[in-house]
Homo-oligomer: A and B are copies of this chain.
Amino acid sequence: MKAVCLLSGGLDSSTCLAIARGNGYSCYALSFDYGQRHKVELDAAARVAAALGAEGHITVPINLRVFGGSALTADIDVPKSRDAAEMSGGIPVTYVPARNTVFLSIALAWAEVLEASDIFIGVNAIDYSGYPDCRPEFIESFERMANLATKAGVEGRTRVRIHTPLIAMSKADIVRTAHSLGLDFRLTHSCYDPDASGRPCGLCDSCLLRKKGFADAGLEDPLDYRA
């Protein structure tokens, strides 16, 4: 069975791909070059797709910089050293407008061409940094829409399923699951603000959540943080 797997090269999406592979899917990994600051994640995505034996890997250029509106795509500073209370206090500036909606829509297009009915996305509603499009009710609603949007849906041939195996996991659960599936953590990349060589900052929300996940799981993160 074919599945389209959204893959940023971060810990979550890499773990999600490892789970899909572990469940026997032929995986078609899909990454986006959306004008993000942290382009080093695209290299990570390519490494992870190859290491996990994805059937294919495509990077779609989609310039969300034309709109601005997020610290990940516009000239807004990435917040650093925030504690859990600050992270949970509303939607952060690193939110990219409608990002998962856009990414899932393009995944749906590829799935339709591949005649795949399964899409995997590594969203997480526990340590999710407050993004609206990571919530289960959003995913369910997208799935309903997807089944009305496509040729296969209309012809009753198939049913699109959006798989979110990480949605109820803590970051520590994700680290443990990835470890048990043999994911090489050195290949993954999570930082919102890496330096030119790709070294993670260690202080942005994404680095802090990742570090805490490894600490809670009692495993060592092999990445070489700047702080």
Instruction: Evaluate contact between A91 and B154: CB separation under 8 angstroms.
Output: yes
Instruction: Evaluate contact between B132 and A138: CB separation under 8 angstroms.
Output: no
Known: A98-B109, A112-B97. A138 touches B145 (CB 8 A): yes
* Among candidates B63, B141, B155, residue contacting A145 with C-beta atoms closer than 8 Å: B141
Determine if A1 is an interface residue (Cβ-Cβ < 8 Å).
no
Residues of A in contact (CB 8 Å), total 45
* Among candidates B60, B138, B153, B154, residue contacting A148 with C-beta atoms closer than 8 Å: B138
Chain B residue at minimum C-beta to C-beta distance from A147: B141
Determine if A87 is an interface residue (Cβ-Cβ < 8 Å).
no
Instruction: Evaluate contact between B132 and A137: CB separation under 8 angstroms.
Output: no
CA–CA, A137 and B96, complex, Å: 28
- Please give, as numbers and ranges, the residues of chain B lying within 8 Å of A149 by CB-CB distance: 98, 100-101, 132-133, 138, 141-142
CA–CA, A108 and B96, complex, Å: 12
CB<8 Å pairs between A and B, sample of 22 = A61-B61, A67-B113, A69-B109, A69-B113, A96-B109, A97-B109, A97-B112, A97-B150, A98-B109, A98-B150, A101-B105, A101-B146, A102-B102, A132-B151, A133-B148, A133-B150, A138-B148, A141-B141, A141-B144, A141-B145, A144-B144, A145-B145
